[in-house]
């Protein structure tokens, strides 16, 4: 039997000289091609979990394997190479606001080109062609030479998706990708992630606030509460009692339509 694609073992993260426990002994596996959604209250550890997986945050203890490689043991240089396989979409878009959309999308190829070329903006012709193709895919080919800060929030997040596509990733980490967007735009952005998952076979881990979105897009859900894993299962297994356990007795479910 094949090993799971992503394995997280006993992951713990402590911040601020031991004062803040962000993750406590979290373990789970992810099969290739899954669309796994991470839910939980703000401060439950969702962002820390995603950032530990690509080592933007260094775990305090525990191990993470991706495709059979223990990434928690890789050197900084080896990790830079590994990150080619791991796309990341951020809550606040993380775009270079004053640069064009095209320049932002091309930054997705930084791991594939020498640093001196990218600093001078000297990307190969095939990278520029791929950037236009990916912008067309997210419906923004007409915005290629517009400044990023002239776009709406939904358009900026679609630039973030096109940038992630440039890496041709195997794994996509989406950290609260729609929390800054209205409901209609949220579905638009989530559908692009779903398309990457279904058409390109990209394994997706997305943290989301709203259970209705998690149920709609996730093939599986895990829930964190105060840094601990408190649920791992199919979306339909989260009934009212489980919802209250994850979010608290006072919480009310909000549908994002």
Q: Which two tokens stand for residue 180?
A: 């800054």
Q: By C-alpha distance, which of 112, 58, 77, 86 is closest to 171? A: 86
d(CA 207, CA 217): 11
Domain, as residue range, for 210: 6-94+172-247
> How many other C-beta atoms are found inside a 10 Å radius of the C-beta of residue 222?
24
When pLDDT is cut at 50, 70 and 90, the band that residue 3 belongs to is: confident
The answer to whether 255 touches 53, Cβ cutoff 8 Å, is: no
Question: pTM for this one?
Answer: 0.91
Q: Provide the pLDDT for residue 251.
A: 59
Q: Kindly report, residue by residue over 17-56, the tens digit of the pLDDT.
A: 768 899 999 999 999 999 999 999 989 999 999 999 999 9
Beta-carbon contacts of residue 237 (< 8 Å; ≥ 6 apart) = 231
Q: Which two tokens stand for residue 29?
A: 């596996």
CATH no. for residue 27?
A: 3.40.50.300
> How many other C-beta atoms are found inside a 10 Å radius of the C-beta of residue 120?
8
Classify residue 194: in a domain, yes or no. Answer: yes
Q: Provide the pLDDT for residue 120.
A: 59
If one counts the domains in the chain, the total is 1
Classify residue 132: in a domain, yes or no. Answer: no
The answer to whether 76 touches 42, Cβ cutoff 8 Å, is: no
Beta-carbon contacts of residue 40 (< 8 Å; ≥ 6 apart) = 46, 207, 223, 224, 225, 246, 247
Sign of the CA dihedral with 79 first, then 61, 14, and 231 last? positive
| Whole-number average pLDDT of the chain | 90
Q: How far is CA 203 from the centre of its chain?
A: 10
Beta-carbon contacts of residue 89 (< 8 Å; ≥ 6 apart) = 157, 160, 161, 164, 172, 173, 174, 175, 177, 193
The tally of CA atoms less than 13 A away on the side-chain side of residue 43 is 4
> How many other C-beta atoms are found inside a 10 Å radius of the C-beta of residue 198?
12
Q: Provide the pLDDT for residue 112.
A: 64
Q: Provide the pLDDT for residue 34.
A: 97
Section 169-176 average pLDDT: 96
- Helical packing angle, 125-137 and 153-166, nearest 10°: 140
d(CA 174, CA 92): 11
Query: Would the pLDDT of 114 be above 70?
Result: no
What are the phi and psi torsion angles at 209 (to 5°)?
A: -80, -45
Comparing 58-62, 202-206, 239-243, which segment has the lowest mean pLDDT?
239-243
Comparing 10-19, 144-153, 171-180, 230-239, which segment has the lowest mean pLDDT?
10-19
* Secondary structure (3-state) at 20: strand
Classify residue 38: in a domain, yes or no. Answer: yes
Beta-carbon contacts of residue 99 (< 8 Å; ≥ 6 apart) = 147, 148
Classify residue 33: in a domain, yes or no. Answer: yes
Classify residue 151: in a domain, yes or no. Answer: no
Classify residue 28: in a domain, yes or no. Answer: yes
Query: Would the pLDDT of 116 be above 60?
Result: no
Classify residue 135: in a domain, yes or no. Answer: no
Classify residue 197: in a domain, yes or no. Answer: yes
The residues pairing with 88 across neighbouring beta strands, listed in sequence order, are: 173
Q: Provide the pLDDT for residue 19.
A: 80
Q: Provide the pLDDT for residue 163.
A: 94
Element counts in the chain: helices (H) and strands (E): 9, 10
Q: Provide the pLDDT for residue 109.
A: 84
When pLDDT is cut at 50, 70 and 90, the band that residue 119 belongs to is: low
d(CA 146, CA 142): 9
**Higher model confidence: residue 256 or residue 75?**
75
Q: Provide the pLDDT for residue 158.
A: 94
């Amino acid at each position: 039997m094949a090993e799971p694609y992503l394995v997280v073992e006993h992951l713990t993260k402590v911040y601020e000289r031991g004062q803040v426990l962000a993750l406590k002994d979290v373990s789970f596996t992810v099969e290739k091609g899954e669309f796994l959604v991470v839910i939980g209250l703000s401060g439950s550890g969702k962002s820390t979990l995603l950032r530990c997986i690509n080592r933007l945050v260094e775990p305090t203890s525990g191990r993470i394997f991706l495709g059979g490689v223990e990434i928690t043991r890789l050197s900084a240089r080896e990790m830079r190479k590994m990150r080619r396989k791991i796309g990341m979409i951020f809550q606040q878009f993380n775009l270079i606001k004053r640069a064009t959309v095209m320049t932002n999308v091309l930054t997705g190829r930084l791991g594939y080109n020498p640093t001196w070329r990218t600093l001078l903006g000297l990307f190969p012709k095939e990278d520029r062609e791929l950037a236009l193709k990916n912008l067309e895919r997210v419906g923004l080919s007409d915005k290629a030479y517009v400044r990023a800060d002239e776009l709406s929030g939904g358009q900026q997040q679609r630039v973030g998706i096109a940038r992630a596509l440039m890496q041709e990733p195997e794994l996509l980490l989406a950290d609260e990708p729609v929390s800054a967007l209205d409901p209609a735009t949220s579905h638009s952005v989530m559908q692009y992630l779903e398309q990457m998952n279904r058409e390109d076979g990209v394994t997706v881990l997305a943290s989301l606030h709203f259970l209705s979105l998690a149920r709609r897009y996730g093939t599986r859900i895990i829930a964190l509460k105060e840094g601990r894993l408190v649920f791992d299962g199919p979306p339909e297994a989260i009934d009212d009692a489980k919802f209250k356990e994850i979010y608290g007795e006072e919480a009310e479910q909000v549908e994002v339509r």
